Amino acid sequence: MRQLISTVIFKLVSLYTRHFPIDKGKSRIVNLLWHRGMQGYSCLTKSIDGRVFEFNSLTKHNRWVFFYGESDPYETALIRCHVKDGETAIDAGANVGWFTTLLSQLTGEQGRVFAIEPVPGNFEVLCKSVELNSCQSNVTCYNRLCGDRDGFDEVFEFPELDPGLSSQRPISDQCRVAHKIELIRLDDLINDNGLSAVDFLKVDVEGAELALLRGCAESLRSGVIKSILIEANDERSAAFGYAFQDCIDLILGLNDFDCFRVCRDRIGIRAMQDRSDFEFGDNLVFLLKSAGKLEHISSLIVS
């Protein structure tokens, strides 16, 4: 009976959060479900754009898709405008595959997508997402940590938090599970796969951004990497002993990029006024000037 009640409640809340026109209060209701001792519930859930994902209330995998039909809507809209058929993309910090499957669809049969996710549980769901959406033909998944050296390192997952918050540094007040995972340099991935161009690199690695960028410095310097979408997270970068602006300095020191901030209140991007023109949690876009990528998203630029 408890399982039946749990199933009904989750389904009703999903109907409400997906279809009720007023957003206020929805996130509070969703968060309450995780503090009421509900029985676990899992199912396949479909996104607004027709992709299929596996929702699990116990692990919180794909909960935003289940409740809202989408995830990261502003970044998703940007990628839809930016990435084209036949291009090559890398999804570093792929989590459970929201952007990986989107990139697979956008790049098409002639495109290639390389998805990297270190946390074993997330990686399993990522592979399932690729399978559910028939993306196997152009997606290669790596259970690796992005870095600037060979060897192994630890990554921590925090069972009480969203799966996307896993990091190579612990969060002091959170219980955690450690995994020892092999490191990979993006320069090596690019060279080993014979890639002459990476048209789009998405980076969301919870504080390990600087090591990742150092690990693809040659590809940045040579112009192989044409564009980057990266999350600015000063709180997590501090745990690694650096400031996020160090990432910006590295990128701009290696090549000539146009720089933008993804808007938080609407679909659009704003030009950065200088290297310090960002806030905690912003997603930043870097477009290699010589690659002509700006024309793809010029319609999204706002003042």
Cβ neighbours of residue 161 closer than 8 Å, sequence gap 6 or more: 171, 174
**143 neighbors 117 (Cβ within 8 angstroms):** yes
* Element of type H or E holding 286: strand 283-288
* pLDDT range class, residue 124, cuts 50, 70, 90: very high
Whole-prediction pTM: 0.94
Is residue 221 scored above 80 in pLDDT? yes
Q: What 3-state class would DSSP assign to 1? A: coil
- What's the rounded mean pLDDT across residues 238-245? 91
Residue found by looking up tokens 């310097």 in the block: 221
CATH superfamily of 73-300: Vaccinia Virus protein VP39 (3.40.50.150)
**Residue ranges, CATH 3.40.50.150, the chain:** 73-300
**Residue from 200, 186, 187 nearest 293 by CA:** 200
* pLDDT range class, residue 160, cuts 50, 70, 90: low
